[in-house]
Structure 1
C-alpha cells in the first residue's frame, strides 16, 4: 500500500508528513513524498520584459534574465531536496517506510499521474503563497480533490491525535464509499465515529441514516439527522462534538450546480480547521 504526501515550502509541509505518517502507520503503508517544481513560462516572461527596452539593450537583458531563471531553477531544486530529506527523516523517526519523488511540471497533473499506483493522497489545505489567508482554500487543492480518483486527505495546519471523527453523510455514492471505508479500515479501529445527515426528517434521510448505522456497527458512537443548511450544520457539529477529523464524499453534484449554488465540500474545507478525508 502506498500513500502520496505532497509537500511544498508552505507551513503545511510538516503537517502533511505527520498526517501521512499516521495513515501509513495504521495501514502498514509506504509514503511517497512528492515535491513538484512548478513550470514557469520563462520565455514569455523574458519577451514581455525585453519588449519594453530599446533594441540595443534587448540582447543583454535576455541573457541576464536567462541567467536569473537558471539560478532560480537551481535554488528551487536545492530547496526541494532539503524539504524531501527533512520529510524522510521525520517519517523514519515515526517508524514509517518512505521514498521520495522530485518532479518538474504542473502540480495537479503530477499528483494525478503519481496516484495511479497509490491508495491515498495527502495534501495541505493551502500552498506556500496562501499561508496567511484565513479561510482560504488553495485553488490547486480543490482541483486535486476534483480530479483525483483516490481518497484525498486534506491536512490541517497542525496534526493532532485522531480520537473522534465526524462523518458527513448525504446518502450519495461517494459518501457511502466514505462510510464503508470508515467501517472497515484499520485507520478508524480506535476512532470514535459520529455521523450526521444534514436536512429534514424525510424517509430518504431516515433510510440513509439506517443504512449508515448498520454498516458502521459498533464503531458508530452517534448517528442523527440534524435540520438545517448542510454547510452550517456540519461546521457547527464538527466544533460541538470535538471532532478531530471530518470524513465525507467529495463534490457529489454536477459542475453546473456547483457553479450556481456552491459546494458543501469546498465550504467544509474552508470552514473547519480540521483535516478532511474526501472520497469520490
Structure 2
C-alpha cells in the first residue's frame, strides 16, 4: 500500500489528474502509478457472434464485423498507450522521477479492486471521458469506485492548483475522527493550514469534539482553525470554503446505505457534483 495511483483517460480532467497526482506523490514521497483501463463493454477483447454464425450467407459479414471489432480494440489500446505516454511526460515534468504506467483491459471498478493492496491514495477525475460538458455531472463509475475502495480518494475537477489551505468537514463521526488521525500522521498536508469546520448546533459536546481534533493536529505541527456553523451542510461548507479561499476539501464518504441515499439523497454525491476544487474522500 505504497503507491499514489492516478486514473488516466481521455477526459478534460486528465491533465488535472496528472498535476494533482504528481503533487501528492511528491508530498507523500511515494511512487506514482498511472493507470489506464480499457472498458471491456465498449471495446470487447473478442467479438461474441456465435449465436448467429449459422445464418449461412451472413457468415462472411460476421467475420468482417469480428475483424472490425478487433481492429477497434487494438486502436483503443494504442490510444490508451498514447494517453499514458503523455501523462508520464507531464508528471516527469512536474518532478516525479520514475512513474510507472499500467494498462488493463476490463472494468475500472474491478481493476481498482484487484489493485487496492497497492494503493495508498487514488487520484481520479470528477468526470470521465463520456461525461460531456456539464460540470455538475460526475463520472458514471465514480460513485462505485468510491464505495468499493477502502482507500483515500482524491477527486479533482478540470483544473488543479496546489492548495495553500485545507478544510476538513468534521462531524464527530468515527470516519472524521479517523480522518483527523490520518491527517496528523500523513505528510500530504504538511506545512498547510487546516480548517476544521462543523455544521450544526454549537453545543458543549460539539465544541469538545472539535477542540480535541484541533489539539491532535496542533500536536502534529499543524496550524489549525476551528469553526462551528449553522445551516444546511453543503451550502454552509461551500460558503466557508469561499470565505477563506480554501483550495482542498476533506470529508468522509457515503456514511449511509444506498437505500437511505435513494430515500434522502447523498451529501457525498452532492458535494462531488458542486465541487470546484479537489475533494479528498475518506472511507
One fold, TM greater than 0.5? Answer: yes
2:152 matches 1:151: yes
The answer (yes or no) to whether the contact 1:177–1:249 under 8 Å persists in 2 is: no
State the alpha-carbon separation in 1 of the partners of residues 75 and 144 from structure 2: 27
2:18 matches 1:33: no
- The alignment partner of 1:243 has SS state of coil
Q: Deviations over 1:84-118 (max 9, x none)?
A: 11111222222213101110000001012112122
Give, in angstroms, the shift of residue 57 of structure 1: 5.0
Instruction: List aligned pairs for 1:47-196, cutoff 5 A.
Output: 55=55, 58-96=58-96, 97-196=98-197
5+ residue gaps, structure 1, are none
2:13 matches 1:16: no
The answer (yes or no) to whether the contact 1:167–1:195 under 8 Å persists in 2 is: yes
State the alpha-carbon separation in 2 of the partners of residues 190 and 24 from structure 1: 16
State the alpha-carbon separation in 2 of the partners of residues 240 and 77 from structure 1: 45
The answer (yes or no) to whether the contact 1:195–1:220 under 8 Å persists in 2 is: no
The answer (yes or no) to whether the contact 2:192–2:223 under 8 Å persists in 1 is: no
Greater shift, 3-12 or 82-91, is seen at: 82-91
- The alignment partner of 1:273 has SS state of coil
User: TM-score by structure 2 length?
Assistant: 0.91
1:243 aligned residue (243, 246, 260): 246
The answer (yes or no) to whether the contact 2:47–2:69 under 8 Å persists in 1 is: no
The answer (yes or no) to whether the contact 1:46–1:65 under 8 Å persists in 2 is: no
State the alpha-carbon separation in 1 of the partners of residues 123 and 139 from structure 2: 14
RMSD of aligned alpha carbons: 2.2
- The alignment partner of 2:159 has SS state of coil
1:44 to 1:99, Cα distance in 2 relative to 1, 3 A:
closer
The answer (yes or no) to whether the contact 1:11–1:131 under 8 Å persists in 2 is: no
State the alpha-carbon separation in 2 of the partners of residues 200 and 62 from structure 1: 66
Q: How many residues align?
A: 277
5+ residue gaps, structure 2, are none
Give, in angstroms, the shift of residue 144 of structure 1: 0.7
Give, in angstroms, the shift of residue 254 of structure 1: 2.8
Query: Which structure has more helix as a fraction of its residues?
Result: 1
